[in-house]
Structure 1
Amino acid sequence: MLELRGLRAKVGDFSLGPIDLSVESKYLVVMGPNGSGKTTLLKSIAGLIRSEGSVLLDGEDISKLPPERRGIAYVPQSYSLFNNMTVYANIEFGLKMRGVPRRERRRLVVDIAERLGIDDFLDKKPTELSGGQKQRVALARALVVRPRLLLLDEPMSNLDVGVREDALLILRTIQREYGTPVLHVTHDREEAYALAEQLAVMYGGRIVEVGRPEDLYSRPRHAITAQLVGFYVLRSGDKCIGVRPNGVIVGSGSLRGRVLDVIRGNDRMRAIIEVDGQRISAYIHSDIRGEITLDIIDPLILNC
């Protein structure tokens, strides 16, 4: 179990925290836009940058330990593989640094390479691999040392659309097969929903909301969360209202708006509508333009 108590860090002009977070699941996803502090959070937990506050892992305060003694594996967004070394040597590296005997290293490397489907690439260099293959090598290198916690920094961001589904399946099986708790950060809401057992939303260096993904996606409490999971947010004085495209009825109601554009999808169209200087979206059955009337069904009252 991971627990953060008053975690703070400063990198240049950016300030992280204070963050108080208790992770109750084996797969936590932290979702937030670019610049929200997700990578800084991971590096603070891993001990790669100076921070204040406490990081507890299974009840043990590891805040004062150097990175190599925390029992944490960190996979950065770029994967940071050694291009001058073979895949085998990349995976073996951490075991070698820990003094694991050669025969045992061989057994562990081959075993995890087979499990992740990269055993045919052990003699290749990372430069000869696809994005998905590099991801699996990075995961193998992290998991082979049996870390107490695995930190994943935007692990899907460098993958082509065609291999993302396979990558999702691999990530979903990691915790179940290896029993390693995972903290995964992303800006992608579909990725977050597919993987998270517990979801935390981050913005401006703070955690703004934590809960089950099903709850946060259907009934978010904060305007930031609502925007990240697909709501449009209307601000009226000190109130914020969350609106989904399927909650807007065009052609009836007391509200007036103006259609700015119509976006065509595979099976339906979506209108971008300006209401009181703010934008919302609505699904429509036929092309419409100009001034319209509309009604909002079941709007969410949000914390701004």
Structure 2
Amino acid sequence: MTAGLDAELEVRGRLRAALSAEPGDVVAVVGPNGAGKTTLVHALAGLERARGHARIDGTDLLPLPPQERAVGVVFQDRRLFPHLTALENVAFGPRVRGTDQATARAAAREALDRLGVGDLADRRPKKLSGGQAQRVAIARALVTEPRLLLLDEPFTGLDVRVAAELRIELSRRLSDYSGVTILVTHDALDALTLANRVVVLDAGEVVQTGTPDDVAARPQTEHVARLVGLNVVRDGDVLRAFPPSAVTVALERPADSSRNHWAGAVRGAAPHGDAVRLQVGTDGGPDLIADVTPSATRDLGLATGRRVWLAVKETAITTYTAG
């Protein structure tokens, strides 16, 4: 029997993906909207019909109904039963698997304690904050000791402070989890801090896999480049990546003969640390991002629609092959 996850899944018209993971792996799945991330979660959970196979510790999940799969799921909207207390929500999984009430409630209380919400056991979901409810949802997913844990955007809708606290708590909980975790996320911070592997989906296909550092250093898609704060320009099979801090912005065409310059219009500007991050739509090319000082923003009049030239020195560019 092979431990871990080995899956090749096809959901007609929406997903065709292969992925594998070792016990204890946390695999971050990233990609743009419509890439197939949630479809992947639903297929593994048994909520979406899929062809192929999805073996966890040697057992193929696809022929099994959802309740018989060794899978725990945390959805974006948590989906707690509104008429049950937090304790009853968490005890529900063991109970439907045949565990007696006393044992199920004891396991549920321990799971809530481990997520730091044991004192909220008697509250119903409407009396919980977003962060508290998400901790209950994670406890419910883990209480049955699944071999596969699916986390679909677990920090969506939480404010920054609550999300940061829950990210730390989840990291601690996953550090002693021996199953495989699939973490769907739109946040590079999740991928870089929680995961040891990253899978990039685009248009229902896997387009890149690797460690978080490898994917961050050599992104294969513009979406991933944006997640990790890089610009990527494709020239056939060659990709050229550079940080926004390396981009200079001017109102006139650069006087030097460097080929690394683009004309375009400012699409937007937003604070980014001590800088202002500009998004510029280049003429016939990709959108690029540039970090400029607030004073330069004022002096150059870098408002939406402003025509600008961008330039990057060759020494600031990392060149690598796609695929």
1:39 and 1:272 mapped to 2: Cα distance?
28
* Structure 2 residue 305 is matched with structure 1 residue 298: no
Determine the structure 2 residue equivalent to 1:99.
98
* Aligned twin of 2:304: none
CA contact (8 A) 1:32 1:228 kept: no
Question: Which moves more between the two structures, 264-273 or 31-40?
Answer: 264-273
Check the 8 A contact 1:81/1:90 in 2, yes or no: yes
CA offsets 1:139-195 (integer angstroms, 9 cap, x no match): 111111111111111111021222011110121122223433211101222222221
The 1:272–1:302 alpha-carbon spacing in structure 2 relative to 1, beyond 3 Å, is: farther
Please give the alpha-carbon distance, in whole angstroms, between the structure 2 residues aligned to 1:303 and 1:179.
34
State the AA in 1 paired with 2:10. R
Distance in 2 (CA, whole Å) between partners of 1:49 and 1:275 is: 40
Q: Residue type matched to 1:9 in 2?
A: V
Residues 266 and 42 from structure 1, CA distance in 2 versus in 1: closer, same or farther, beyond 3 angstroms?
closer
- State the one-letter code of the partner of 1:268: A
* RMSD after superposition: 2.5
Cα distance in structure 1, aligned partners of 2:128 and 2:40: 29
Question: Is the 2:238–2:322 contact (alpha carbons within 8 Å) kept by the matching residues of 1?
Answer: yes
Match of 1:186 in 2: 185
Q: Equivalent residue of 2:14, what SS?
A: strand
Is there any run of 5+ residues in structure 2 with no aligned partner, and where?
A: 301-306
Q: State the one-letter code of the partner of 1:8.
A: E
User: 1:120-149: per-residue Cα shift (whole Å, max 9, x none)?
Assistant: 111111011000000011111111111111
In structure 2, the partner of 1:232 is: 231
Which stretch of structure 1 is more off in the superposition, 176-185 or 256-265? 256-265
TM alignment of 1:280-295, pairs within 5 A:
280-285=288-293, 286-287=295-296, 288-289=299-300, 291-292=308-309, 294-295=311-312
* Cα displacement string for residues 223-247 of structure 1 (whole angstroms, at most 9, x for unaligned residues): 5533443323335567553332023
SS of structure 1 residue aligned to 2:176: helix
Pair 299,131 (structure 1): closer, same or farther in 2 beyond 3 Å:
same
- What is the CA–CA distance in structure 2 between the aligned matches of 1:137 and 1:148, rounded to whole Å? 19
Equivalent in the alignment of 1:139 = 138
Is contact 1:243–1:300 with CA below 8 Å preserved after alignment?
no
- Contact 1:222–1:302, Cα closer than 8 Å, also in 2: no
TM-score (norm. length: structure 2): 0.83
Matched pairs, number: 299
Aligned positions of 1:70-219 closer than 5 A:
70-219=69-218
Q: 1:269 aligns with which of 270, 276, 287?
A: 276
Which residue of the partner structure matches residue 9 of structure 1?
Answer: 11
Aligned partners of 1:218, 1:133: CA distance in 2, in Å? 35
State how far apart, in whole Å, the 1-side matches of 2:75 and 2:271 are: 37
Structure 2 counterpart of 1:172, which letter?
S
Residue 41 of structure 1 and its aligned partner are, at CA, apart by 0.3
Superposed, 1:15-26 pairs within 5 Å as 15-17=14-16, 19-24=17-22, 26=25
TM-score where L is the length of structure 1: 0.88
Identity level (%): 36
Contact map agreement 1:34 1:187 (CA 8 A) in 2: no
183-192 or 146-155, which moves further after superposition? 183-192
Q: Which amino acid aligns with 1:21?
A: L
Uncovered stretches (5+) of structure 1, i.e. residues with no partner = none
Shift in CA distance, 294/121, structure 1 to aligned 2, threshold 3 Å: same
The SS at the match of 1:110 is helix
Q: Is the 8 A contact 1:258 1:273 kept in 2?
A: yes
Q: Which amino acid aligns with 2:5?
A: L
Change in CA separation of 1:298 and 1:141 when aligned onto 2, cut-off 3 Å: same
Indicate if the aligned counterparts of 2:14 and 2:39 stay in contact, CA closer than 8 A: no
Q: Distance in 2 between matches of 1:228 and 1:291?
A: 24
Greater mean deviation of Cα atoms: 203-212 or 270-279: 270-279
CA distance in 2, matches of 1:235, 1:114: 49
Give the match's secondary structure for 1:90. helix
Q: Post-superposition shift, 1:221?
A: 3.8
